[in-house]
Amino acid sequence: MDARVLIEGNDPVALPDGGPLPHWDKTVDVSVETVVKTFGTTPALHGVSLDIAAGELVALLGPSGSGKTTLLRILAGLDVPTSGRVLFDGEDALKLTVPERNVGLVFQSYALFRHMTVLENIGFGLHVRPWSRRPRRRDIRRRALELLDLVQLSGLEKRYPSQLSGGQRQRVAFARALAIEPRVLLLDEPFGALDAKVRRELRRWLREIHDKTGHTTVFVTHDQEEALELADRVVVMSEGRIEQVGTPDEIYDRPNSPFVFSFIGESSGLPVRVEGGGVWLDERPLDLAAGDTPDGPATLFFRPHDVEIGHESAGAIPVVVQGLRRHGGARRLDLEISGRRDRIEIDLPAGDWLNVSGRISVRPRRYRLFPASG
The neighbouring-strand residues paired with 218 are: 58, 186
Using the contact rule CB under 8 A, the part of the chain among 161-169, 331-339, 345-353, 360-368 near another protein is 161-169
100 CB-near residues (< 8 Å, 6+ apart): none
CB within 8 A of 25, min separation 6: which ones? none
Interface segment toward another protein; rule CB under 8 A; list 160-168, 220-228, 234-242, 306-314: 160-168
Q: Which is nearer to another protein, 40 or 351 (CB)?
A: 40
CB-based contacts of 138: which residues, under 8 Å, 6+ apart? none
129 part of the interface to another protein, by CB under 8 A:
yes
CA-based nearest residue to 69, from 109, 24, 112: 109
Q: Smallest gap, in angstroms, from Cβ of residue 109 to another protein? A: 6
List the one residue from 160, 280, 353, 370 that touches another protein (CB under 8 A): 160
CB of 219 to another protein, least distance (A): 15
User: Minimum distance from CB of 20 to another protein (Å)?
Assistant: 22
Residue 96 has what DSSP assignment? S
112: contact with another protein by CB under 8 A = yes
Which of 88, 110, 191, 302 binds another protein (CB under 8 A)? It is: 110
For residue 120, what are the CA distances in angstroms to 99, 115, 198, 328? 18, 9, 25, 44
Q: Which is nearer to another protein, 72 or 260 (CB)?
A: 72
- Interface stretch with another protein, choices 123-131, 261-269, 288-296, 301-309 (CB under 8 A): 123-131
Q: Of 49-57, 74-82, 229-237, 313-321, which part binds another protein (CB under 8 A)? A: 74-82
Angle between helices 118-127 and 166-179 (to 10 degrees): 20
Cα–Cα separations (whole angstroms), residue 61 to 7, 78, 235, 240, 244: 23, 20, 6, 12, 10
Interface with another protein, residue 205, by CB under 8 A: no
Q: 110, 73 in Cβ contact below 8 A? A: no
- 171 lies in the binding site for another protein (CB under 8 A): no
Cα–Cα distance list, 107 to 20, 136, 272, 274 (Å): 26, 28, 44, 47
Size of the site for another protein (CB under 8 A): 31
Tell me: does residue 370 bind another protein (CB under 8 A). Answer: no
165 binds another protein (CB under 8 A): no
The site string for another protein over 303-342 (x = CB under 8 A, - otherwise) reads ----------------------------------------
Least separation in angstroms between CB 151 and another protein:
16
Q: Is 80 in the site for another protein (CB under 8 A)?
A: no
Nearest approach, Cβ of 226 to another protein (angstroms)?
A: 21
Ranges of beta strands (E only) in the chain are 30-39, 42-52, 57-61, 83-88, 91-92, 103-106, 184-188, 216-221, 233-238, 241-246, 268-275, 278-281, 284-289, 296-302, 307-310, 317-327, 330-337, 343-349, 359-364, 368-371
* The one among 20, 80, 114, 254 contacting another protein by CB under 8 A: 114
Q: Does 359 bind another protein (CB under 8 A)?
A: no
Cα within 13 Å of Cα(111), Cβ side:
13
**Regarding beta strands 184-188 and 103-106, do their DSSP bridges make them parallel or antiparallel, or are they unpaired?**
parallel
Half-sphere exposure of 108 (CA within 13 A, CB side): 12
Between residues 182 and 248, which has the closer beta carbon with respect to another protein?
Answer: 182
* 16-24, 121-129, 274-282, 303-311 -> range binding another protein (CB under 8 A): 121-129
For position 118 contacting another protein by CB under 8 A, the verdict is no
The residue ranges that bind another protein (CB under 8 A) are 76-78, 98-99, 101-105, 107, 109-115, 124-125, 128-129, 160-162, 169, 173, 176-177, 179-180
